[in-house]
């Protein structure tokens, strides 16, 4: 038995070796490079390979970093809240209302936005919300406004709107999967034991859907913190987030060690927050169905 | 075992129909289940037994007809306010709750203090043999334990009717037989009306006061277990309940009391009217049936029996406590199955040997 397991393990290892190598090369090496850079000194237009903690000291002391990191976290939190709150009813509808024969079609429809590039979708929001955009010209043509509304674009709420739209499928799918896994007789049992539909949802459906909700929160929260395109285009550069700050250090100011230190710090903050979030919600993750 | 008919009706179904689109799942069910009765709905899958149970629970709306529980019309009464509770086939134990939280799930609006509720939960667990299991996680339970939790969770609410949807089908044989006995005891102890859905005829015979056999959305026979087994109302019921031998017969006469028929291997037999049932629509002609244990193989030296026939043993199947013999009776070309208990001192007969068979006329059922 042991030899067979060993043989199977060896075979499995051979199977995963190519993608594993690829993943290590493409993910770990750039990460390690960034990590290494963050401890080097910056010479003008060059990097001096001497160990220092000065970059991190500078990052933590920088009030601009504090402001931008806080903004990134707040925007990401807001985007997550909006996305997950809007995604839940969609996932619920998909799981409980749509007949099984139509579910594949619905999932297909939900993922259609992925057919166009993220950049183009963000540009489309600019077209919709812009000074001469769809909303403004529409409102003008029906005579509700004389002058285009300038508060639609280039602010936090437009960033949140754009990101929430872009990440909606990422939130809908894990919640949908969690809802699909719920044994429907559990809901009947809830009703049978005297609870109304609403109370059954609260006491049975929601707790059992929590693993999906938690997954959706992390899947939306983590990438939106580091989003670069939307704050640049929709924020108009006036509301930079942490990715914009890193880009500016790396390229505009050619301070790669500082940019790397910023990136590593942001990564650490996100990692710590994610772990804390999971620890706080671990009772929901223990459920095995 | 017989159930007194003077108890008040607990569940009444009157001309209950259920359509799913074109499919007619329940075709005019008329049924009265009495208070305190252990009642079974028995039938093959797709016969409508589960649908009927779910209409009583309130999970399915009926297309027409009336369902009354304790004299009260249940139309427009949603499942959560009906005086019924259900043990689901999958047990439907909430995986995110502990055993105690599962059992206490229905007590949320109970006005008692939380200490009293906790005591009630502990008592319910004790009743089903799970004392001290309250703090365990639901997913750590075995199949039998889940079933007990499901029972405790329903019984703690003191329903007027407990509905059980194939509650034992997921258990292994030993566990199933043990739970059958426990369920009977439990039902006697709490005195609640139990309605059991099962496709296992043995289970229904063991547990029930009365059984309704269902085929294709209709009740084919409603009777006490003994009556159902000894005098099936149709050949189809006879086929479904236990094993029965069928022999083609020709009917030669009929009086008010009995039908006379020529039964191959038995000669001319008067079958009492109480043992005359319906044949299947597709049968080629009338047939006589008897159970394997209704005949007895006689030893070579046994004294002559009142009614006796002979035959050759075609096959011997040994089951430990029982032996099944396939015997080709004289004057019949089709072997019949006869079972004998393996009592101490009785030898197992050999294949190919001649044997004497004694029989009683009351054990034959005529299907015409």
Q: What is the ipTM of this complex?
A: 0.85
Give me the residue from B96, B105, B137 closest to A193, CB to CB. Answer: B105
Q: Which chain B residues are within 8 Å of A185, Cβ to Cβ?
A: 88-90, 92
Q: From B230, B257, B283, give the residue that closes a domain.
A: B230
Q: How far apart are alpha carbons B277 and B287 in whole angstroms?
A: 10
Residue written as tokens 């994610």? A274
In a domain, B256, yes or no: yes
For B145-158, the pLDDT digits (tens) are 999 999 999 999 99
Q: Are residues B147 and B276 in the same domain?
A: no
d(CA B51, CA B63): 12
Neighbours of B287 (CB within 10 A): 22
Question: Do B197 and B239 fall within a single domain?
Answer: no
Angle between helices A54-61 and A256-280 (to 10 degrees): 60
What CATH number has the domain bearing residue B98? Answer: 3.40.50.300
Residue B48 near residue B214, CB atoms below 8 Å: yes
User: Domain end: B192, B214, B230, which one?
Assistant: B230
Could you tell me if B81 and B193 lie in one domain? Answer: yes
Whether residues B196 and B246 share a domain: the answer is no
CA distance B96 to chain A (A): 5
Whether B217 and B248 map to the same domain: the answer is no
Strand B161-165, strand B84-87: pairing: parallel
CB contact under 8 A, A183 and B106: no
Token pair in block for residue A183: 């044994």
Nearest to A265 by CA among A42, A28, A75, A53: A53
Regarding whether B283 and B219 lie in a shared domain, the answer is no
Interface touch B79/A191, C-beta < 8 Å: yes
The pTM assigned to this predicted structure is: 0.83
Among A188, A196, A289, the residue with its CB nearest the CB of B95 is A289
CA distance B2 to B225: 9
* B39 and B147 both lie in a single domain: yes
Percent of chain B with pLDDT over 90: 77
Query: Is residue B228 over pLDDT 50?
Result: yes
The CATH number of residue B255's host domain is 2.40.50.140
* Per-residue tens of pLDDT for chain A, all 289 residues: 556 788 888 888 889 999 889 988 888 899 999 999 999 988 877 888 888 899 999 999 999 999 999 999 999 999 999 999 999 999 999 999 999 999 999 999 998 878 888 888 888 888 888 877 888 888 888 888 888 877 777 888 889 999 999 999 999 999 999 999 999 999 999 999 999 999 999 999 999 999 999 999 999 999 999 999 898 888 887 888 999 999 999 888 888 999 999 999 999 999 999 999 999 888 887 776 5
How many residues are listed for chain B in this entry? Answer: 368
Same structural domain, B289 and B146: no
B1 inside domain: no
Query: Does one domain contain both B320 and B340?
Result: yes
Q: Is residue B4 part of a domain?
A: no
Instruction: Mark whether B347 and B267 lie in a shared domain.
Output: yes
A223 near A217, Cβ under 8 Å? no
Residues from chain B contacting residue A184 (CB–CB below 8 Å) = none
- In A193-209, which positions are buried (b, 16+ CB within 10 angstroms) versus exposed (e)? bbbeeeebbebbbebbb
Residues of chain B in Cβ contact (below 8 Å) with chain A:
57-59, 78-81, 84-86, 88-90, 92, 94-96, 105-106, 108-109, 137, 139, 153-154, 157
In a domain, B68, yes or no: yes
> Quick check: is B131 in a domain?
yes
Residue B277 in any domain: the answer is yes
Characterize B101-128 residue by residue with b for buried, 16 or more Cβ atoms within 10 angstroms of its Cβ, and e for exposed: bbbbbbbeeeeeeeeebeebbbebbebb
Q: Is residue B190 part of a domain?
A: yes
Distances (CA, A) of B230 to A229, B205, B326: 81, 12, 21
Asked if residue B2 is part of any domain, the answer here is: no
How far apart CA A223 and CA A236 sit, in angstroms, is 20
Residues in B closer than 8 angstroms to A289, CB to CB, are 95, 139
Verify that B79 and B193 share a domain, yes or no. Answer: yes
pLDDT at B51 over 60: yes
E strand or H helix that includes residue B183: helix B173-190
Q: Based on the domain organization, do B220 and B257 belong to the same domain? A: no
DSSP B209: S
Q: Which of B230, B245, B271 is the last residue of a domain?
A: B230
Enclosing domain of residue B37: 9-230
Tens of pLDDT, residues B299-327: 888 888 888 899 999 999 999 899 999 99
Crossing angle of helices A100-111 and A156-181, in 10° steps, is 150
Q: Give strand pairing partners of B17.
A: B27, B64
List the single best residue of B95, B153, B157 to mutate versus A (max A Cβ within 10 A).
B95
Helix residue ranges per DSSP H, A24-99:
29-37, 54-61, 63-92
> Domain count of chain B?
2
User: Can you tell me the distance from the alpha carbon of B92 to that of A183, in angstroms, rounded to the nearest whole number?
Assistant: 8
Q: Which residues contact A10 (CB under 8 A, 6 or more apart)?
A: none
Q: Is A254 left (phi over 0), alpha (psi -120 to 50) or beta?
A: left
């Amino acid at each position: 038995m042991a030899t067979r397991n060993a043989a199977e393990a060896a075979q499995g290892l051979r199977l995963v070796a190519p993608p594993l190598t690829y993943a290590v090369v493409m993910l770990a090496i750039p990460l390690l490079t960034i990590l290494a850079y963050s401890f080097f000194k910056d010479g003008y237009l060059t990097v001096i390979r001497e160990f220092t903690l000065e970059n991190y000291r500078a990052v933590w002391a920088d009030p601009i970093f504090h402001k931008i990191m806080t903004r990134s976290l707040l925007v990401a939190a807001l985007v997550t809240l909006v996305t997950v709150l809007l995604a839940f009813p969609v996932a619920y509808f998909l799981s409980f209302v749509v007949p099984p024969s139509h579910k594949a079609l619905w999932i297909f429809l939900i993922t259609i936005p992925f057919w166009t590039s993220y950049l183009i979708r963000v540009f489309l929001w600019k077209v919709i919300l812009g000074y001469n955009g769809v909303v403004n010209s529409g409102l003008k043509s029906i005579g509700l406004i004389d002058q285009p509304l300038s508060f639609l674009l280039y602010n936090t709420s437009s960033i949140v709107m754009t990101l929430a739209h872009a990440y909606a499928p990422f939130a809908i799918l894990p919640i949908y999967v969690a809802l699909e896994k719920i044994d429907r007789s559990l809901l009947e049992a809830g009703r049978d034991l005297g609870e109304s539909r609403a109370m059954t949802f609260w006491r049975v459906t929601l707790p059992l859907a929590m693993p999906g909700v938690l997954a959706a929160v992390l899947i939306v929260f983590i990438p939106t913190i580091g989003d670069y395109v939307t704050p640049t285009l929709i924020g108009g550069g006036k509301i930079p987030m942490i990715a914009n700050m890193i880009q500016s250090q790396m390229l505009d100011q050619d301070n790669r060690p500082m940019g790397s230190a910023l990136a590593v710090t942001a990564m650490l903050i996100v990692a710590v927050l994610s772990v804390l979030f999971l620890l706080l919600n671990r009772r929901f993750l223990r459920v095995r169905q | 075992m017989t159930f007194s008919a003077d108890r008040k009706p607990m569940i009444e179904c009157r001309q209950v129909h259920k359509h799913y689109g074109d499919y007619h799942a329940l075709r005019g069910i008329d049924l009265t289940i009495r208070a305190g009765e252990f009642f079974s709905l028995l039938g093959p899958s797709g016969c409508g037994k589960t649908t009927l149970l779910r209409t009583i629970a309130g999970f399915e709306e009926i297309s027409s007809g009336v369902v009354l529980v304790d004299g009260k019309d249940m139309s427009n009464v949603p499942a959560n306010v009906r005086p019924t509770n259900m043990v689901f086939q999958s047990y439907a134990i909430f995986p995110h709750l502990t055993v105690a939280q599962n059992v206490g799930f229905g007590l949320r609006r109970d006005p008692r203090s939380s200490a009293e509720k906790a005591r009630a939960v502990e008592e319910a667990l004790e009743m089903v043999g799970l004392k001290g299991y309250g703090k365990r996680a639901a997913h750590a339970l075995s199949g039998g334990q889940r079933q007990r939790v499901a029972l405790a969770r329903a019984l703690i609410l003191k329903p007027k009717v407990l509905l059980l949807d194939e509650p034992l089908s997921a258990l292994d044989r030993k566990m199933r037989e043990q739970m059958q006995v426990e369920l009977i005891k439990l039902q006697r102890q709490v005195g609640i009306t139990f309605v059991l859905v099962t496709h296992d005829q043995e289970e229904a015979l063991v547990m029930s006061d009365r059984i309704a056999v269902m085929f294709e959305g209709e009740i084919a026979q409603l009777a006490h277990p003994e009556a159902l087994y000894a005098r099936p109302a149709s050949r189809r019921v006879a086929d479904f309940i236990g094993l029965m031998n069928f022999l083609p017969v020709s009917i030669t006469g009929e009086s008010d009391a009995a039908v006379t028929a020529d039964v191959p291997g038995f000669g001319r037999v008067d079958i009492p009217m109480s043992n005359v049932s319906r044949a299947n629509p597709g049968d080629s002609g009338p047939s006589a049936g008897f159970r394997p244990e209704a005949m007895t193989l006689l030893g070579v030296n046994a004294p002559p029996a009142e009614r006796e026939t002979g035959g050759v043993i075609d096959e011997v199947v040994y089951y430990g406590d029982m032996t099944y013999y396939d015997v080709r009776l004289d004057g019949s070309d089709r072997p019949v199955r006869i079972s004998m208990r393996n009592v101490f001192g009785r030898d197992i007969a050999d294949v190919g040997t001649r044997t004497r068979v004694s029989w009683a006329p009351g054990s034959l059922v005529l299907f015409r």
